[in-house]
Amino acid sequence: MNKRMKSAEYLSNFESMFKCPICNSSMKVFELKSLICLNNHTFDFTKQGYINLTTHMVKTKYSKDLFEARRKLIVEDSFFKPLSAAIAEMINKHATKKEALSLIDMGCGEGSHLSNISDIIRSEYNKITTGVGIDLSKEGILVAAKNYTNKIWAVADLANTPFQDKQFDIILNILSPSNYEEFNRLLKADGLVVKVVPQSGYLKELRAVIFGKPEKQSYSNVDTVERFNENFQLVDSSRLCYTVTLDNPSIQTLVQMTPLSWSSTAGQVTSFLKADSAEITVDLELLIGKK
């Protein structure tokens, strides 16, 4: 079996969670090639093993190189390792009674967060996990499907997700925009939303290089947190702050992976890119909410 067929076979175990993004009818896997709805709207599996469930072409600014860089930073440099561990621990703490968990990462990028968190929940907390990752960027989903098997990877619109109501125990939303209406629709009655937002010290060393004005170098996410609290009952939160030492190749990778550098000129980051090593701050807030 090739990768396309293996992915289709794996997804066929969970086809009941899907609904057609065009007409909302239920869907079935057909001949290990396509996902087809009752009204014959057809979405084909790609040779890389993901499925595109958008209804029109979407171009994003995120490139394949950016996602490859992000994956290198997460997997090889363990940049977000403490974050994955903290999220898995919080999920286990608040979902102790469940032996099996369905997780969806909304805005999953290249899939490493979902893969790492699922692995920790499975290996350290002995829970069965079903992982679904969606993103509007085809480039991100392509990198995810290439590297992580036994997950469902789909290009999909976060405002019109191709899933039936109340399908997921856990919604992950890591450094990514939210659509709370969809989160509420997709979440099971006793489910949890895990949102990660950057805090004032996040990548402050890179900000200092890119932004000359001090007010641009630090920022607040008070509005984001308030909006989360308006939509969900906050059951837990924690601030996670640590530093990572990066060597020169990893500094290059960091600059390549973050949209922060889009607003910089080549001259601004040249000296930063030449450094032999750098201490980089990761400063994040984890919010856990329920309906």
The domains of the chain are located at 1-49, 50-290
Look at the block and give the residue holding tokens 């080549």. Answer: 266
Which strands make up the sheet holding 187-198, listed edge to edge?
Answer: 51-52, 152-155, 128-135, 100-106, 168-174, 187-198, 277-290, 233-247
Distance from the first to the final alpha carbon of the chain: 42
Is the pLDDT confidence value at 215 over 60?
Answer: no
Is the pLDDT confidence value at 263 over 60?
Answer: yes
Lowest mean pLDDT among 16-20, 73-77, 87-91, 214-218: 214-218
Tokens at 130, concatenated: 């079903």
Domain 50-290 adopts which CATH fold? Answer: Rossmann fold (3.40.50)
Is the pLDDT confidence value at 74 over 60?
Answer: yes
Work out the number of other CB atoms within 10 angstroms of the CB of residue 225: 17
Q: Which candidate, 20, 23, 1, 21, places its Cα nearest to that of 10?
A: 1
Q: Torsion angle of alpha carbons 64, 117, 147, 156, nearest 10°?
A: -50
269 pLDDT band, cuts 50/70/90, is confident
If phi > 0 it is left, if psi is from -120 to 50 it is alpha, else beta; for residue 84 that is alpha
Q: Which candidate, 197, 225, 217, places its Cα nearest to that of 260?
A: 217
What distance in Å separates the CA atoms of residue 242 and residue 45, rounded to the nearest whole number? 40
What distance in Å separates the CA atoms of residue 23 and residue 185, rounded to the nearest whole number? 17
What distance in Å separates the CA atoms of residue 187 and residue 173, rounded to the nearest whole number? 13
For range 188-204, the mean pLDDT: 95
Parallel/antiparallel/unpaired status of strands 168-174 and 152-155: unpaired
Residues pairing with 37 in the sheet: 27
Averaged confidence pLDDT in the chain: 93
209 pLDDT band, cuts 50/70/90, is confident
| Predicted structure pTM score | 0.94
Lowest mean pLDDT among 109-123, 212-226, 267-281: 212-226
Residue 221: what pLDDT?
A: 82
CB–CB of 246/258 below 8 Å? no
Residues pairing with 193 in the sheet: 171, 289
257 pLDDT band, cuts 50/70/90, is confident
163 pLDDT band, cuts 50/70/90, is very high
